[in-house]
Amino acid sequence: MKKNTKIEKSKILLQKALLHLLLQKPYQNISIHELCQQAKVGRSTFYNHYHDKNDLLKSTVDFYSSIAREATVTAFLSQDNMDLHANLIRDYRTTAQYSYVIRALLSVHLPNADFEANMRQILLDKYQILLANNQATSFLPEALAVELYIANALTVTKFIAYHPDTANIEKLANFMVHIYVRLFKPLDEEILILDPYTSSEL
């Protein structure tokens, strides 16, 4: 049991070391020697856990992506009872809590370790569930409407990650709900399409 605890501790130390160094320099400039120094573990310990630096990155991305999915999708279905505003508040508070992690991981884009791509997929899963439950539709092609919403959602997430102490989470959640309402309506509601230049019906 103690051995397993020691193994998990050294893995966490290496993940934290990677995040710390990513906030200081590009991923390609980080060496295994630096990771071991920062984590205060031996080189042999590193290779006991990971094949190489990319393996450590993938493990770190997977771990924090699972936390993001828990806060964004799982909580949406269970704790928040599919209440979009309540879920956004929870999601954005989690974003602020893990802001340094998000900033670090957003700086790297590898085919098998891309945190931003994972976040995009998590948001897509969430809004597909929401749209199906509300039987919502849009005056735009659905794929375009969803892409527009996810692009805005990612932008807000990044803003909070870079401004965790000053971002107004309540206002940002209200903003995203407003965008959702503007883009999507339940099928039983009349959809009014306005000319953006004249504000008259098309």
Average pLDDT over residues 22-27: 97
What would the CATH number be for the domain defined by 1-50?
1.10.10
Q: Is the pTM of this model over 0.85?
A: no
With b for 16 or more beta-carbon neighbours within 10 A and e for fewer, the 4-38 pattern comes to: eeeeeebbebbbebbbbbbeeeebeebeeebbbeb
Extents of the domains making up the chain:
1-50, 57-202
**pLDDT tens-place string over residues 54-108:** 999 999 999 999 999 888 888 777 766 678 898 899 889 999 999 999 999 999 9
